[in-house]
Amino acid sequence: MLAASIFRPTLLLCWLAAPWPTQPESLFHSRDRSDLEPSPLRQAKPIADLHAAQRFLSRYGWSGVRAAWGPSPEGPPETPKGAALAEAVRRFQRANALPASGELDAQPRGSPDGGAAQAFSKRTLSWRLLGEALSSQLSAAEQRRIVALAFRMWSEVTPLDFREDLAAPGAAVDIKLGFGRGKSAPGSRPADTQNGEWIRAWKWSETSSKQTSHFAAPSVAVHEIGHVLGLPHTYRTGSIMQPNYIPQEPAFELDWSDRKAIQKLYGSCEGSFDTAFDWIRKERNQYGEVMVRFSTYFFRNSWYWLYENRNNRTRYGDPIQILTGWPGIPTHNIDAFVHIWTWKRDERYFFQGNQYWRYDSDKDQALTEDEQGKSYPKLISEGFPGIPSPLDTAFYDRRQKLIYFFKESLVFAFDVNRNRVLNSYPKKITEVFPAIIPQNHPFRNIDSAYYSYAYNSIFFFKGNAYWKVVNDKDKQQNSWLPANGLFPKKFISEKWFDVCDVHISTLNM
């Protein structure tokens, strides 16, 4: 859909009347203590001896001397060479703004990372960047932007709602952040070691603190907020919660392990969709062959997500406002999307209320008029006679060249070639799409019906659940299954990960 595209090679297959996409999609684009809960996450292991220290320093790039990972054949491990170890320790200490003695000791700088991490029990959290603790290296507006972005990154993978609060009394703000100066700033994380500035995030009434290592903003803010949310340090390559970390690239993101760790504390995102669909594109490769790509989109309220099927997660930086990514269609509460796709037709329609819009994939915008000069949007009753409005949802079945329109407990089968509803319709949804297990069925008011090219299956969504429709492969493997039968419901969050809302103030970040 948008700007730059990154495509994976895809074979062109033929099925009935048109090309059939077979590979994943291309990408089309940019506390108070009464509220604490124990965290089940394990803490980082302590550095207990010289060999553990050498392994740590070597693993994370502080030392070029390779550590011994076990006893040698002749006896106990050889003691690490003193000069090399001392220099590695000094580098580590300087990066952490500790006295660069080159000696290992047990004295903590701030409080050690022991004890159980703690998590919030509520899901809406307020935050504030303290005006008296701003950095001199960045404008106040830029600091607020960095902090808001850091909160957004955590909200993209959790059901947490972070809200900046500039009005409430300080004691009522859940999370406060600020910069300070000096090498011994307690519980701080260096944002710029050359200028001696630190970033600090803490919970209200918190007295303990954690000494951490060199980061470059905004990853420093993401790390500190991770601690406030209950995550301990972890020695896992790629994690934002490493105690020592090579500065991140500007476009860094939370890795899979960070996502799963925070979701252990707060759960996965749940929610319904207004509509879901796969967006099909055709292009020619270097050999002139037509290649078919698809991208999966989920719409909710006034924003949308692109789902990366190959990574099994939403695109980094989503959701985005519909207004930004889909020019000319309604900016919220889309009822349905239909893609009529045959050898002769390639038409995309969005439905809302009693109207529909046709979308031009090549120009990436909704059409304002048809070939005869008649204006869009048009009435559903005119373009699709016999179809009621407003709709619950709809999808195009390429096997039968039918659009299935859903309204309350009824389904209408619409013949796109004859432009009319089939004579035997409407029918009960339960008649056309029967439950495999009695009573395990959405029955009525389906949120979205969607054919997935990633799974070669139709899915019905309602609330936070989905039902998969029996497909041809299912029938071949189990002939007793009813045609178009619905498998028992499952939770959307178990199949499609990280479809999470963010606060509306951060939608354009």
Annotated catalytic residue within 74, 224, 270, 289: 224
Ranges 23-32, 50-59, 300-309, 475-484: which has the least confidence: 23-32
Average pLDDT rounded to a whole number, residues 252-273: 92
pLDDT at 447: 98
pLDDT of 486 higher than 70: yes
CA distance 292 to 19: 7
pLDDT at 135: 63
Question: Which one, of 24, 4, 21, lies nearest residue 311 by Cα?
Answer: 24
Average pLDDT rounded to a whole number, residues 140-146: 83
User: Which CATH number is 5-28+270-494 given?
Assistant: 2.110.10.10
pLDDT of 492 higher than 50: yes
pLDDT at 86: 80
pLDDT at 53: 73
CATH number for 111-267 (one of 3.30.70.260, 3.40.390.10, 3.30.2130.10, 3.40.50.970): it is 3.40.390.10
Let me know: does 84 contact 63? Beta carbons within 8 Å: yes
258 assigned to a ligand binding site? no
Annotated active-site residue 224? The verdict is yes
pTM, two decimals, is 0.74
447 assigned to a ligand binding site? yes
51 assigned to a ligand binding site? no
Q: In the chain, what are the domain boundaries?
A: 5-28+270-494, 50-95, 111-267
Task: Give the residue ranges of DSSP H helices in 367-420.
Answer: 380-383
pLDDT of 340 higher than 90: yes
439-474 confidence digits (pLDDT tens): 999 999 999 999 999 999 999 999 999 999 999 999
CA distance 419 to 415: 6
Output the CA angle 75-78-83, nearest 5 degrees. Answer: 170
210-235 confidence digits (pLDDT tens): 322 233 367 888 888 999 999 998 87
Rg (CA), the chain: 28
227 assigned to a ligand binding site? yes
161 assigned to a ligand binding site? no
Let me know: does 413 contact 402? Beta carbons within 8 Å: yes
pLDDT tier at 179, thresholds 50, 70, 90:
low
441 assigned to a ligand binding site? no
pLDDT at 176: 84
